Structure 1
């Protein structure tokens, strides 16, 4: 029998978890501070609607997916693992590194699975990109840059960095295999005191450099991750159709007679197995619950991402 999983938080992203877990045959219950909302989802998905207290006390609930406002994630995750539940916590897992570390430590103390919802780590195109890197197809990685732009959702507490960048930071950390040595952030607040445009500059071991640009106030959508290696370059562009999402460029850059020259070639488009990242993420969560394996996106990664977000945050004065 599959683990019995509850979703805590029936908002926009929580509702996606609810429907996906239902399709996977693992949805047991839903819960929300607005109990009427939870009851509506329970009727629709034919599962239980539980209050938060009842959720933590229910012995039949094996694990909880948390899609709450981030200021509530840490304390709620601690309560869950103390009640014997495995957890998948949506990003950001906390608003401070200290709170994230407390939640991760609590999960370890109680031998519970702690997974963070960095869903793009489970995108088939990113998995194929990482395989190219791991297999040495790109050579030594020199530079990684990520652009995530569009007209995004505007939150009362989260700026573009904290709302948009965690997914890209998770992918960058997976490719570098190490946290950055230093982080520099620049932001612009055009609507209120929260940054709508963010640039992050990071330096990693081996002189690998990375740049991230995130914007929630942009007229067009861009979801592009570029990896530059000594042998080849690869681009994961999520707005492209499946057959063009991952491009491998075998451009040659050489030095001849004291001058740098380059030769360009048409990209090779890497075949990608189609699949929904959220479905694959939740399948991985179920697998970890069943096997007790450490998640691909575990608590340590969650803390590393929080450290980068904290180091790169630009504070803007509130309007008076």
Structure 2
């Protein structure tokens, strides 16, 4: 079992700590605030060294970075320089040059370097990928995502950078392509940074997509919709477990010079068991053990950053 250290003991870092401890892979925790790291170390019975001491420890095989996004790139370069395998939370950087440097250094070092796009490991999304691959939906034509809610206002990130990486990683996996066209729209209500953001994407194969994000919305929605020529599907992360992935076989046909439709009830598809974060960390551990390239490499994190940079709207 690889010995893994977690850097960052905030909300999401604590989830990593708890999950890795349950998997028997947690070796150390670290944080800018030593008192917070000490508390987590005592709670999970592991060491709580400084970041530099953790990197210098030859018994640490890998590092999970769960820091504020503006600290990710610099910390990742230190992890890579220390020769440790790396899982870095999204976004992996706040500029394209920084993200590209992380990718280049990781490739040169020959380490496992993975982006924390946790929804790629959600059983509902894995099943969605399966029915796309087997032709159930037919050729894809359109994908749209809505990820909206209230709160989580960050001084460094607007709604686009904070929220959209989740859905962009899913869309990139579904299309298997990088977009040829990216157009962004945004609205700043409370701060100069956008509280609402809308991305329009076009892909080489003809698929079109849009992503809508908001942190100033009166209700929560976490829904990805995929439109194919034969059927449609939705991945609704707010739905009950047994209804998260719905398949719609609505009928469409031409008659009397126009399009006709017939709606049918959705089919809720059975899903595998397991929490997305557990499945993600199990995958990271397996990649370290076997040398298999990760499903969500840092190059995918770079592709997401490139889309975000093109779609960012600047406000005065």
Give the structure-2-normalised TM-score: 0.99
Q: Partner of 1:207 in structure 2?
A: 206
| 1:3 matched to 2:2 | yes
| 1:27 matched to 2:31 | no
Matches within 5 A, 1:166-315: 166-315=165-314
Note the alpha carbon deviations across 1:56-115, whole angstroms, 9 max, x for none: 100000000001111221121111111110000000100111111111111111111110
Note the alpha carbon deviations across 1:218-258, whole angstroms, 9 max, x for none: 11110000000000000010111111111000011111232
Note the alpha carbon deviations across 1:187-207, whole angstroms, 9 max, x for none: 111001111111100001122
Matches within 5 A, 1:27-176: 27-176=26-175
Question: What secondary structure, in the 3-state scheme, does the structure 2 residue paired with 1:178 have?
Answer: coil
Determine if contact 1:55/1:61 at 8 Å carries over to the other structure: yes
Question: What secondary structure, in the 3-state scheme, does the structure 1 residue paired with 2:2 have?
Answer: coil
The unaligned stretches of length 5 or more in structure 1 are none
The unaligned stretches of length 5 or more in structure 2 are none
Question: What secondary structure, in the 3-state scheme, does the structure 1 residue paired with 2:224 have?
Answer: strand
Question: What secondary structure, in the 3-state scheme, does the structure 1 residue paired with 2:70 have?
Answer: helix
Note the alpha carbon deviations across 1:111-169, whole angstroms, 9 max, x for none: 11110000000000000011010111000100000000111311111110001000000
Question: What secondary structure, in the 3-state scheme, does the structure 1 residue paired with 2:205 have?
Answer: helix
Distance 1:8 1:49 in 2: 10
Determine if contact 1:64/1:85 at 8 Å carries over to the other structure: yes
Aligned residues: 316
Which range is displaced more, 291-300 or 58-67?
A: 291-300
Question: What secondary structure, in the 3-state scheme, does the structure 2 residue paired with 1:207 have?
Answer: coil
Determine if contact 2:70/2:156 at 8 Å carries over to the other structure: no
Distance 1:71 1:241 in 2: 35
Distance 2:216 2:76 in 1: 32
Determine if contact 1:242/1:274 at 8 Å carries over to the other structure: no
CA RMSD of the aligned region, Å?
A: 0.8
Structure 1 segments of 4 or more deviating over 2 A?
Answer: none
